[in-house]
Amino acid sequence: MLDRQYLVISLFYAVAGLLMGIYMAAAKNHSLLVVHAHMMLLGFVVSFIYAVIYKTWLPRTSGSLAITQFCLHQVSALVMISGLFMLYAQIMPEPIVGPVLGVSSIGVLLGMLLMVVMVLKEKSVRAADYIVS
Ligand code: HEM
Ligand code: HEM
């Protein structure tokens, strides 16, 4: 259900992260390395993996649990990556950004745990395992 939304958002993170990487390389200024790394890995790669999980194993999953998982991951990842940018671009000091990073990273973790719950609940995953064994 949400595979396309995850895919589109992941590709936007890829474009933004690659632009940042090219800027870092061209400017010979790697101070935004942590922001670039998490844009590429948390923004692009993790969202892309969620898109693949939805497409492959959760094709019929919809409803409030799925929407909660999607919103929780996307809001938390966006807040975390924006917070990292504020911190490493020295726009905001650590005492202010730190708690925001803490809360948003717990949101990312909860999003992953909700994905675990949905995968374990999905009957087709269990059926597929049954066929293989
Ligand atoms: C146009 C392509 C890219 C450019 C120009 C670029 C540029 C850079 C630069 C300049 C650094 C800092 C290196 C350092 O100071 O040690 C870096 C680090 C990093 N990049 Fe990229 N990058 C690109 C693509 C990617 C992609 C596709 C990924 C992952 C999907 C990625 C993940 C990372 C990670 C994880 C680090 C941190 C590595 C570390 O901890 O030392 N980058 N990149
Ligand atoms: C809850 C989410 C996450 C938190 C709180 C977190 C936290 C951190 C921290 C504190 C660092 C060290 C930064 C520094 O050098 O000062 C780091 C680095 C790194 N993280 Fe994460 N991370 C998260 C998610 C991820 C994910 C999902 C990936 C990969 C799929 C990832 C890949 C990396 C890599 C490759 C580095 C080394 C590159 C760098 O120095 O930035 N992280 N992370």
Burial environment of residue 8 by CB neighbours within 10 A (0 to 12, 13 to 18, 19 or more):
exposed
How far does residue 38's CA lie from ligand 2's centre (Å)?
6
In this prediction the pTM is: 0.92
CA distance 129 to 42: 28
> Which ligand 2 atom sits nearest the alpha carbon of residue 109?
1
CA distance 31 to 73: 26
Q: 18-67 pLDDT, tens per residue?
A: 999 999 999 999 999 999 999 999 999 999 999 999 999 998 877 899 99
Query: Who contacts 15 (Cβ-Cβ below 8 Å, separation ≥6)?
Result: none
How far does residue 133's CA lie from ligand 1's centre (Å)?
40
Q: 54-113 pLDDT, tens per residue?
A: 999 998 877 899 999 999 999 999 999 999 999 999 999 999 999 999 999 999 999 999
Please answer whether residues 77 and 6 qualify as being in contact, where contact means their C-beta atoms are separated by less than 8 angstroms: no
Query: Within its chain, how far is the Cα of 54 from the centroid?
Result: 14
